[in-house]
């Protein structure tokens, strides 16, 4: 009954002691959205300065939501990296689009990433994918990020795109960056800090992510698969961690299933005398040890689950 709240009337004469500290911090959720391959994951990594979200030269590799948190003295930004915006084709892609929408609903600020070179060629920053989203979530502040500035020959060419962003009425701010070269990424972070609402931090200062380590381990294995094989095979695989435990010798034992759709893909994944799979194992173990800062014993198994991409029940089992 006599509780003093920030907005209520103090009942016991504790007001105006001269040292009253109002909430000076800001904290909010930022959804990073944009077409595949525009550099969303690279940007998030540059912001967090840590290898949390996977980056590969191929489109459509980020299928699950990655949450990264960046905190300094005054502000905490909670990032959601979303799958690239695409027209749903498989059932899996439908549920990916569901994720995108969930992320946007949850977000305080939208960070729309565009490939500046492509936008320059198209002569517009607006496309049929981002416009409906910006329209639907018009009440949320949006920032346009023109990424890949390093690849634009004449930097001033970005100016008319910035002007278009301003005139469109969709964007509060626009910023030109190079995620790859970490240029102007700090400027973007400053803008985002100014746009998230005032409030206390939701997470510990030194917490980089709320997702469990096994998620990152699975992502690192998936990344190794993307590097090792071409085209069709990576797109029909998924990785689940089946065991993750400490052994007596101090090593962490990790067993993972690589799930494919067909026997032929299994054959390709394993390779002659198991050479290809061995490479994936070596490559991903090194990445996992680097990420976990701990020696790891890794075992990979390839399993066939026919048409897992189109089977809703199996998708749910895999966490989509």
State which of positions 28-47 bind ligand GDP (CB under 6 A): 34, 36-42
150 sits near ligand GDP (criterion: CB under 6 A): yes
Burial state string for 119-140 with b = 16 or more CB within 10 A and e = fewer than 16: bbeeeebbeebbeebbeebeeb
Query: For ligand GDP, which residue of 76, 147, 265, 284 counts as binding (CB under 6 A)?
Result: 147
Out of 29, 37, 41, 76, the residue judged to bind Mg ion by CB under 5 A: 41
Minimum CB separation from ligand GDP for residue 121, in Å?
Answer: 15
Does 175 participate in binding ligand GDP (rule CB under 6 A)? no
Tell me the site size for ligand GDP, rule CB under 6 A: 20
Under the binding rule (CB under 6 A), the answer on residue 148 touching ligand GDP is: yes
Contact between 82 and Mg ion per CB under 5 A: no
What is the DSSP annotation of 244-276?
A: EEE-TTSPEEEEEEEEESSHHHHHHHH-GGGHH
CB under 8 Å to 287, separation ≥6 — which residues? Answer: 220, 223, 224
Cβ–Cβ < 8 Å for 78, 207: no
Cβ-contact 222, 239 below 8 angstroms: yes
Q: What is the rounded distance in angstroms from the CA atom of residue 30 to the CA atom of residue 137?
A: 13
Nearest residue (CB) to Mg ion, 218 versus 298: 218
**Nearest distance from residue 135's CB to ligand GDP, in Å?**
22
3-state secondary structure 75-93: EEEEEEECCCCCCCCCHHH
Q: Which does 150 bind (CB under 5 to 8 A by kind): ligand GDP, Mg ion, none?
A: ligand GDP
Query: Residue with the closest Cβ to ligand GDP?
Result: 39
Binding site for ligand GDP (CB under 6 A): 34, 36-42, 55-57, 62, 84, 147-148, 150-151, 178-180
Binding site for Mg ion (CB under 5 A): 40-41, 62
């Amino acid at each position: 009954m006599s509780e003093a709240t920030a907005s209520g009337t103090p009942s016991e004469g504790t007001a105006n002691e001269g040292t009253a500290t109002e909430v000076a911090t800001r904290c909010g959720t930022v959804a990073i959205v944009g077409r595949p391959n525009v550099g969303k994951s690279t940007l998030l990594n540059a912001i967090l300065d840590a290898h949390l979200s996977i980056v590969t030269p191929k489109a459509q590799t980020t299928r699950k939501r990655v949450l990264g948190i960046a905190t300094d003295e005054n502000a905490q930004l909670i990032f959601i990296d979303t799958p690239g915006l695409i027209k749903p084709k498989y059932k899996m892609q439908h549920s990916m689009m569901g994720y995108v929408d969930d992320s946007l609903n949850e977000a305080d600020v939208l960070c729309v990433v565009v490939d500046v070179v492509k936008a320059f060629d198209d002569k517009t920053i607006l496309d049929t994918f981002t416009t409906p989203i910006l329209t639907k979530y018009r009440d949320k502040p949006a920032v346009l990020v023109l990424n890949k500035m390093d690849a634009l020959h004449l930097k001033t060419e970005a100016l008319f795109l910035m002007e278009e962003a301003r005139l469109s009425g969709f964007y509060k701010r626009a910023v030109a960056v190079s995620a790859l070269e970490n240029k102007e990424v700090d400027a973007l972070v400053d803008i985002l800090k100014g746009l998230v609402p005032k409030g206390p931090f939701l997470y510990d200062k030194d917490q980089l992510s709320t997702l469990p380590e096994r998620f990152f381990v699975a992502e690192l294995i998936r990344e190794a698969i993307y590097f090792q094989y071409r085209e069709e095979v990576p797109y029909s695989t998924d990785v689940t961690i089946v065991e993750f435990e400490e052994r007596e010798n101090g090593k962490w034992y990790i067993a993972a299933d690589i799930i494919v759709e067909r026997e032929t893909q299994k054959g390709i994944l394993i390779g002659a005398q198991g050479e290809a799979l061995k490479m994936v194992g070596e490559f991903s173990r090194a990445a996992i040890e680097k990420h976990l800062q701990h020696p790891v014993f890794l075992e990979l198994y390839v399993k066939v689950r026919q048409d897992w991409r189109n089977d809703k029940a199996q998708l749910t089992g895999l966490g989509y």
